[in-house]
Structure 1
Amino acid sequence: MAETSKILIVEDDYEIARIMRDHLRREGFQVAWASTGVEGWDDFKQDSFALVIVDLMLPEMDGFTLCKTIRLESDVPVLIVSAKNEDENKILGLDLGADDYLTKPFSLRELTARVHSHLRRYQRYATKHSNEEMVTYKHGLAIDFVHEAVFMDNELIDLTAKEQDILFLLAKNPYITFEKSKIYEHVWQLMNVDGNNTVTVHIKSLRTKLGDTQKKAKFIQTVWGAGYRFIGEQLV
């Protein structure tokens, strides 16, 4: 397992990151390191990781936000390591999608045991769902999340990168309403500003390409006063 597993460490303390990285490499893992939350998110999007280790106190984007952002995109195991020992921090981290919480200081032996445990679970999960690359919906929509392609009536749809990011965000989290500001912050990785109409414009273009009208939505529904949600009915 270790030979093919790649781990991402997001930790701003160089010495702690170096110790974890060197130890996990000796254990046979491939390891990448990011020193800020934004850098960690960029690395996560650019590569395929089997597990992510996240500190809570990170510059640019804190660990809580990074955990939440990763979980919207992936089921990869997330292990929080933090000097914060308060129960509320542990609960919040787990509620946002983290799988485990390790309080600093911790032994490298314990870190290794936690990593192996979560990788075994994730490997079983990934094997079970390995044939679910293409998800099909009523009204002709099909999404290949693995190869990042969208089809309508078996024809490839030409989406912009941001349109695709919005669709994938909503479709991976069906029936969950996202405020426009949250969509913008997740997809553009920038703080939303008052009066920003960017998401509205991209949603309109995306709906046009999907043949989805606002009044009789098949895929993207407007929740008035709240935001948007994906309501596509998945075919079994």
Structure 2
Amino acid sequence: MPDISYSDPRLAAVYDALNPAGADTAFYLDMAGSKPKVILDMGCGTGALAVELARRGHEVTGADPAAGMMAVARSRAGGDAVDWIESDAVSLDVPTRFDLVFMTGHVFQVFLTDEAIAVALRNLHRHLAPNGRLVFETRNPAFRDWEGWTPAETASAVEVAGIGRVEAHYEVTAVDGQIVRYETHFDFGGGDEVVAPSVLRFVERDQLAALLAEAGFARVEWYGDWDRSPVLRTSPELIIVAG
């Protein structure tokens, strides 16, 4: 099930302001290229990338299990050009076969066990067209990104249309091996505060490589950052292009 920060309509509306387009968005748009393709944005969230892909001439399906996120996506300008499906990666079952399947925003890290990863990867592989590719990213565990998820390091404030000023910060509550539990604190002012708990897995590259192979992915490219640099211990990301 999606956590509260993805299912609550008000928090979903705050998402874009807290997560503006950056180098990751440019990477995925470049992967899509200019030739029209059939693309699945799995875990599409508020639909920003899906709508931009459709605007560029691609045939796009956006899928997400969180009703709050999907409501924002459907109401987005240009959203009528995207086929929206309320589904997660495990239960997705559509006749379309995709040239590209994207999983952005580190959504891959919500799969907390090898079994969950394996089931999702097999299903997404089944939905690929011949020579199709799955493209996604997960944070490099060697970089230990969660150590910077403190209130002081992550504090931010944004203005959200229809809501006003929202202050937010992260706080890690537990680390157990590859599993990191943290909270996102939202302050809407006047004592109106919401705490959204989340759980992520920081899977190792070797483990992920084995799971990709078992799911049928024979060709895998790895990058350590959005500039397509190789994966090093100091790389913040594990970016995967698998076919």
User: Structure 2 length normalisation: TM-score?
Assistant: 0.32
Q: Which has the larger radius of gyration?
A: 1
Would you tell me which structure has more strand in proportion to its own residues? 2
